[in-house]
Structure 1
């Protein structure tokens, strides 16, 4: 005889997500709480904060017992300081990789084929063909070979590119040779497109600075869909203003980018406001993850995606 599901108290930030969860195990107490009002319960087994809400909202959890805090983002740097005592943190691995890979490939194509120029020309009804770079036959160094990096590599491979994956250490994985980060001085001079997918935090802060950017060949494209802090903004601006390198950025440092920041007007810069995961593919995927977490907790099983912030 199977055991009955145990009672589980869960909060989600929106009515939409609550509806998307569908039928849940018996005994689940599901409430909608966006963390902007007092806690509707004294204790929760699972709390899902609003997407891209910032860490400030987590102050609402002070004095509330929380077992698992389920982030809706992949990145979790700096979250440890905001977790309630005893709470575990789960990230949204598996939710955003496809959408982030789409924005990475899209930015790459737009930058290589000068599509932004044509959009500006269209606004003025200007017919102005130009010869552009191609994605095909380019060497793409994917810096960070986790879920997002692998998703990008899989989508760029059919474009007839040469993918050079780089991670913290060299290894062979699933028939792919992954280079170690210590090999960057040898790899960067042969790189046409530097694709940054690394998470933030102190270990990666400023990893790509003036020294590394100087190793890239003239005309190389820097794409960042990881975290803005990985890339030294001042060093990048200097390279862009000299018109030696180009950049296509979903993330920057600081965020949001101040209106007067020189990166906005730097030659060869294409900037979008951290929207890699902001696509409709997120909705069913985050619902699937949260539903799975609830089912696992109700069955007395360990939740998925637990990370050490």
Structure 2
């Protein structure tokens, strides 16, 4: 099916398709006003069920969907209700589960706010790299318990961030951003990504290595690979066992990328430390030993956009829609051929 691109001055008919909670979080009044300046936006409430009579009536005239968390799959049935749909501007990261083969077969253009969502994840990662290198969490706990400063001149030489070695697993959007944020710091960055050459890694500011070398050499390893059939359990018991004593594993990608049982064993023995924004399963069972383990910091999947950071997602989507409506195409397109490598 051939879809004709819009041109300058075009005001597409658009609708918002996501959960009401997602819409309330991401699309504040200013963002909605910006969308209405660009589009003939269907009146709220948002579409969170594409099979209702109202949804079908709205979809019948829609050229563009502004989607987000909780958007139902845009499958063949949904597309039959939306014969004019030509583009999707997604206000979150992954489009898995929402964009189906039917969209690609029609030629629907898809944009994602993954680049915007990568920013806070990378910031979280940088913060955790520096804080764990300084052993801030442990020292704050000890200080709270003792109410006095310890013998700071006897601090072990392994504490601190001077010339630490940091491994970044995958040159994803987030992984690349982490490497960029690490540039001002006096650390060595190792990168593992089978799709990145030595020269490309060097251009990013890292040294490309194979997985065993990364885990054997790094004081901190930060996981940024998407969860794919080939990456499930990628961070194996063998790799975790090769980490230096007191090394830190940070995971902000997906829990199943890491062998959770192997990591638990290593953390419980005190050999390694872990910062986990994702786990397998998520959340962990209430009686899981990592909850009470002093060597593990578990956060509730908060590294991605939250609070005022949602505005960055909306701003990116608005900018994408402005480009698309003017005939310039998306700056952050999602390509069908790249889906197998994306989160």
2:59 aligns with: 42
Q: CA deviation at 1:190?
A: 1.3
2:134 aligns with: 113
| Residues 48 and 71 in structure 1, CA contact (< 8 A), matched pair in contact too | yes
Q: CA deviation at 1:258?
A: 2.5
Q: CA deviation at 1:281?
A: 5.5
| Residues 15 and 42 in structure 2, CA contact (< 8 A), matched pair in contact too | yes
CA distance in 2, matches of 1:26, 1:239: 53
Q: CA deviation at 1:207?
A: 0.8
The alignment partner of 2:263 has SS state of helix
CA distance in 2, matches of 1:162, 1:118: 25
CA distance in 2, matches of 1:145, 1:15: 29
Which stretches in structure 1 are left out of the alignment for 5+ residues? none
Q: 2:186 aligns with which of 160, 166, 169?
A: 160
CA distance in 1, matches of 2:94, 2:207: 23
For structure 1, which segment, 131-140 or 97-106, has the greater mean C-alpha deviation from structure 2 after superposition?
131-140
2:166 aligns with: 140
Normalising by structure 1, report the TM-score: 0.82
| Residues 95 and 286 in structure 1, CA contact (< 8 A), matched pair in contact too | yes
Asked if residue 282 in structure 1 is aligned to residue 309 in structure 2, the reply is yes
Asked if residue 71 in structure 1 is aligned to residue 98 in structure 2, the reply is no
CA distance in 2, matches of 1:11, 1:81: 18
More strand by share: 1
Q: CA deviation at 1:95?
A: 0.6
Asked if residue 8 in structure 1 is aligned to residue 16 in structure 2, the reply is no
| Residues 58 and 82 in structure 1, CA contact (< 8 A), matched pair in contact too | no
| Residues 26 and 313 in structure 2, CA contact (< 8 A), matched pair in contact too | no
CA distance in 1, matches of 2:137, 2:235: 25
Change in 2 beyond 3 A, CA 1:200/1:9: same
**Count of matched residue pairs:** 303
Q: CA deviation at 1:144?
A: 1.2
For structure 1, which segment, 13-22 or 206-215, has the greater mean C-alpha deviation from structure 2 after superposition?
13-22
Q: CA deviation at 1:33?
A: 4.2
Q: 1:29 aligns with which of 29, 35, 41?
A: 41
Q: Within 5 Å, give how 1:267-306 maps onto structure 2.
A: 267-280=294-307, 282-303=309-330, 304-306=332-334
Asked if residue 19 in structure 1 is aligned to residue 29 in structure 2, the reply is yes
The alignment partner of 1:240 has SS state of helix
| Residues 8 and 297 in structure 1, CA contact (< 8 A), matched pair in contact too | no
CA distance in 2, matches of 1:15, 1:170: 36
Asked if residue 175 in structure 1 is aligned to residue 207 in structure 2, the reply is no
Asked if residue 241 in structure 1 is aligned to residue 241 in structure 2, the reply is no
| Residues 26 and 311 in structure 2, CA contact (< 8 A), matched pair in contact too | no
Q: 1:58 aligns with which of 62, 65, 72?
A: 72
Normalising by structure 2, report the TM-score: 0.75
The alignment partner of 1:202 has SS state of coil
Change in 2 beyond 3 A, CA 1:257/1:69: farther
Q: CA deviation at 1:215?
A: 1.8
Post-superposition Cα deviations, 1:152-179, rounded to whole Å, max 9, x if no partner, equal 1222232210011221234112734766
For structure 1, which segment, 75-84 or 148-157, has the greater mean C-alpha deviation from structure 2 after superposition?
75-84
